[in-house]
Structure formats: structure tokens, C-alpha cells
């Protein structure tokens, strides 16, 4: 009976949708960036697969259909840049320079810290595209020879860190430049950060969304040099 | 009907992105090329936003969901990170914070320079 259910293509689809729906529900109930729906869904999927001793391949047989949609979703990031094209034109130089410096700092930090701790080359490669939004980071890390699912987890985790710490820094350092705040959040903490930036303010949200797209692109370019 | 038509256009953009990316002399992700083409075509008005908007917004707002299967794949790589999880967490926190602070002051500095330049 168990095999019949878990080896069906519907099993992976069902488990993914169910766990993510639960994640969304929890996020709704306690409105904090720590209750990240994706992180909850991953944890629940891993829990179910482990407890019932179901091979990942059985799960992924159906679930891989969901992964296919990452490509068109990434392409649609073009829409979010397009919508902010006017804002970008007004702040072209600060935004571009900010994204460039931020992307480079992120890559350098990742490499230097990984080396300091003596991590393997595979893990260094896994950490390099940390600042890019997950779909782009995945592509980059595949080319660099890192571990794709670990990169995804690291990107989400970094996003949560950014979303939690950004409001603290805004108060602590009295950050008044709203464009700079938005870009800083977008570069350092991609998607989870941007949803926080939208809460902070309209300018911050737009700038953060823009910075996510540009940083993703820059990370691809930086990745070409490794 | 509308959704299917929009999805066809979006998939076409992705296919074109992969084609163009394969022509480059270095490895470039097709999806990122598709992102650039989408932006370019929208900006040139070859493509109207309303022809992809609903499906595009659906894909964008549910992006995180599409990661569930690939991220769950971490279950097969736990051996590779077993001893390093805390280090990876620490590095992620530190790098994120440093990146955020450096970026803020970079943008603030460039803005201030530009203002001064305009006044002079």
C-alpha cells in the first residue's frame, strides 16, 4: 500500500503543495520573517520522507514538475525590473554602484570566511552566489560545482537574516536614505528581504526588488570568473 | 484561455533565452537571459505587459513554492555538510550583515557626491 501511494507521480505534488500550504498558514498566523513558508515546507517534506522512510527519488518523480516552473518564474523577474524602470533611471548611478559593490563584497566575504574555516572547495562554491536570488544562485552554483540544495537553503536563510536585521540597523544607525536602505536590503537578502522592504516603505520595496534583479545578473557575471 | 496564451508567450521567451544563451562563448543561465529578453522586449514595447501580466504575477508571487522539491533534495546531501552546518550558518549571518551595511553606505555616499556635484 505504502509503495503504491509513494511511487505515484501525485505523491510528490501532493506533499509539496500540502506542506507549502501549511507553511503559508503558519506565516499568516505569526507574521514574522522567521516563519518562512518555504523553510517550513522543506522541513515538513524532509520530516515525512524520513519518518516514513520514503526515497527522495520517489518524491521527486512527481515533484520535479514543480521545479520546471522555476525557469519561467525567473524570466518574469524581468517584469519587476521593468515596472521600476523609471525609479531606476532616476537613481541609476547609486543603484548600479551599490549593487556592484554589494555583490562583490558578498562573494568576497563568502570566499574569505569559508577559507578561514577551512571548508572544502565544494562548499566554497556552494556559498559564492549567496547574495543572488535562489533561481539564479542555483544556476550559478551548478556551473561552479557546488551543492545546489544547500545553496537554496543558504540563500533563504540569508534572506531571513536580512529581513530580521534590517529594521534593527535602520534604527541603530539612523539610516535615513530610503533608496540606500532599499538597495542594501535587496542586495544582501533577496526575496525574504524584499517582502520586509515593502513593509518598511514603497521606495524601499521598489529599490529592493530592483536590486534583487541586478544583483542576480551581476552574480552570474562574477561567477564567470571562477 | 488568457492564462494559456500568456503561458505560451512566457515559455516562448524562456526557450528564446536558452537559445540566445547557448550562442554565448561562456556558460550563461538561459533563465537569466530570458529575464533580460523579457525586460528588453517590454522596454522596446515589442511585448505588452498585459500580454504576460496575470501569469507573470502568478509565477512571481509563488516563486518560493517552486523551490520546495529541489531544496528538499538537501536530504540526500546531509553527509556533505554534517560537520559544517554551524559554520555555514555563521558565515551566512556575518556575510549578509556586512553586505547590507557596506551597500547602504556605498549608495548613500554616491548619492551625496552626486548632490554635491550638482550644486557646484
**pLDDT of amino acid A196:** 86
**pLDDT of amino acid A95:** 94
Nearest-CA neighbor of A158 among A127, A119, A135?
A127
pLDDT digits (tens, 9 = 90+) for B30-89: 988 999 999 999 999 999 999 999 999 999 888 889 989 988 999 998 888 888 899 999
**Weakest-pLDDT range from A8-12, A63-67, A86-90, A147-151:** A86-90
pLDDT digits (tens, 9 = 90+) for A62-83: 999 999 998 999 899 899 889 8
Measured CA to CA, the distance from residue A131 to residue B77 in angstroms comes to: 22
**pLDDT of amino acid A4:** 82
Instruction: Quote the minimal CA–CA distance from A188 to chain B in Å.
Output: 5
Res A31 pLDDT > 90: no
Q: Please report the DSSP string for B39-75 in residue order.
A: HHHHHTTSS-GGGTHHHHHHHHHTGGGGGHHHHHGGG
Residue A164: CB atoms within 10 A of its CB come to: 18
Summary mean pLDDT of chain B: 92
The ipTM, to two decimals, is 0.89
Res A33 pLDDT > 80: no
Measured CA to CA, the distance from residue A77 to residue A85 in angstroms comes to: 13
Report, as an integer, the average pLDDT of A164-176. Answer: 93
Q: Which residue among A46, A91, A180 sits closest to B104, beta carbon to beta carbon?
A: A180
Q: If pLDDT is split at 50, 70 and 90, which confidence band does B18 have?
A: very high
**pLDDT of amino acid B82:** 85
Q: Spell out which residues of chain B touch residue A99, defining contact as CB-CB under 8 Å.
A: 103
Q: Spell out which residues of chain A touch residue B95, defining contact as CB-CB under 8 Å.
A: 106, 109-110, 113, 127, 130, 158
pLDDT digits (tens, 9 = 90+) for A101-123: 999 999 999 999 999 999 999 99
Residue A143: CB atoms within 10 A of its CB come to: 17
Res A127 pLDDT > 90: yes
Cβ of A69 within 8 Å of Cβ of B94? The answer is: no
**Weakest-pLDDT range from A2-6, A134-138, A161-165, B18-22:** A2-6
Q: Which residues, in sequence order, are CB contacts of B94 under 8 Å at separation 6+?
A: A109, A113
Of all residues in chain A, what percent carry a pLDDT higher than 90? Answer: 65
Q: Are A61 and B48 in contact (CB under 8 A)?
A: no
Q: Where are the domains of chain B?
A: 1-74, 77-120
Res B26 pLDDT > 90: no
Summary mean pLDDT of chain A: 91
Instruction: Quote the minimal CA–CA distance from A125 to chain B in Å.
Output: 12
Q: Which residues, in sequence order, are CB contacts of B20 under 8 Å at separation 6+?
A: B30, B33, B37
* pTM, full prediction: 0.87
With residue A13 as reference, give the H or E element that holds it.
helix A9-29
Instruction: Quote the minimal CA–CA distance from A96 to chain B in Å.
Output: 9
Q: If pLDDT is split at 50, 70 and 90, which confidence band does B9 have?
A: very high
Angle between helices A92-116 and A178-200 (to 10 degrees): 80
Q: Spell out which residues of chain A touch residue B75, defining contact as CB-CB under 8 Å.
A: 46, 49-50, 56
Report, as an integer, the average pLDDT of A25-53. Answer: 90
Res A1 pLDDT > 80: no
Q: Are A151 and A126 in contact (CB under 8 A)?
A: yes
Measured CA to CA, the distance from residue B21 to residue B57 in angstroms comes to: 24
**pLDDT of amino acid A172:** 94
Residue of B nearest to A142 (CA): B29
Res A180 pLDDT > 80: yes
pLDDT digits (tens, 9 = 90+) for A205-217: 889 989 998 999 9
**pLDDT of amino acid A87:** 84
**pLDDT of amino acid A3:** 80
Q: Which residues, in sequence order, are CB contacts of A33 under 8 Å at separation 6+?
A: A160, A163, A164, A192, A195, A196
pLDDT digits (tens, 9 = 90+) for A181-202: 999 999 998 877 888 888 888 8
Amino acid at each position: 500500500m505504502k509503495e503504491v501511494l509513494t511511487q505515484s507521480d501525485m505523491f510528490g505534488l501532493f506533499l509539496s503543495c500540502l506542506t507549502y500550504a501549511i507553511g503559508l498558514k503558519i506565516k499568516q498566523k505569526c507574521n514574522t520573517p522567521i516563519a518562512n513558508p518555504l523553510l517550513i515546507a522543506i522541513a515538513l517534506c524532509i520530516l515525512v520522507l524520513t519518518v516514513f522512510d520514503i526515497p527522495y527519488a520517489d518524491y521527486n518523480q512527481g515533484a520535479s514538475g514543480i521545479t520546471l516552473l522555476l525557469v519561467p518564474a525567473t524570466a518574469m523577474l524581468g517584469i519587476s525590473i521593468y515596472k521600476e524602470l523609471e525609479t531606476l533611471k532616476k537613481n541609476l548611478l547609486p543603484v548600479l554602484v551599490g549593487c556592484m559593490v554589494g555583490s562583490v563584497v558578498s562573494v568576497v566575504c563568502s570566499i574569505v570566511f569559508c577559507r578561514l574555516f577551512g571548508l572544502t572547495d565544494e562548499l566554497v562554491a556552494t556559498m559564492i552566489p549567496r547574495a543572488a536570488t535562489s533561481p539564479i544562485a542555483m544556476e550559478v552554483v551548478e556551473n561552479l560545482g557546488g551543492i545546489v540544495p544547500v545553496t537554496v537553503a543558504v540563500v533563504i536563510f540569508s534572506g531571513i537574516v536580512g529581513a530580521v536585521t534590517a529594521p534593527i540597523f535602520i534604527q541603530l544607525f539612523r539610516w535615513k536614505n530610503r533608496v540606500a536602505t532599499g538597495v542594501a536590503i535587496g542586495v544582501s537578502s533577496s526575496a525574504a528581504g524584499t517582502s520586509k522592504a515593502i513593509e518598511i516603505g514603497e521606495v524601499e520595496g521598489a529599490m529592493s526588488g530592483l536590486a534583487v534583479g541586478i544583483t542576480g545578473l551581476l552574480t552570474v557575471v562574477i561567477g564567470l570568473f571562477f | 484561455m488568457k492564462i494559456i496564451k500568456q503561458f505560451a508567450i512566457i515559455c516562448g521567451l524562456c526557450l528564446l533565452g536558452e537559445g540566445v544563451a547557448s550562442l554565448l562563448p561562456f556558460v550563461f543561465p538561459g533563465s537569466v537571459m530570458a529575464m533580460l529578453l523579457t525586460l528588453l522586449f517590454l522596454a522596446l514595447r515589442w511585448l505588452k505587459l498585459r500580454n504576460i501580466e496575470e501569469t507573470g504575477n502568478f509565477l512571481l508571487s509563488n516563486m518560493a513554492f517552486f523551490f520546495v522539491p529541489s531544496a528538499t533534495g538537501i536530504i540526500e546531501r546531509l553527509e556533505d555538510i554534517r560537520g559544517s552546518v554551524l559554520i555555514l550558518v555563521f558565515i551566512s549571518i556575518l556575510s549578509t550583515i556586512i553586505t547590507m551595511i557596506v551597500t547602504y553606505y556605498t549608495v548613500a555616499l554616491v548619492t551625496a557626491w552626486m548632490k554635491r556635484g550638482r550644486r557646484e
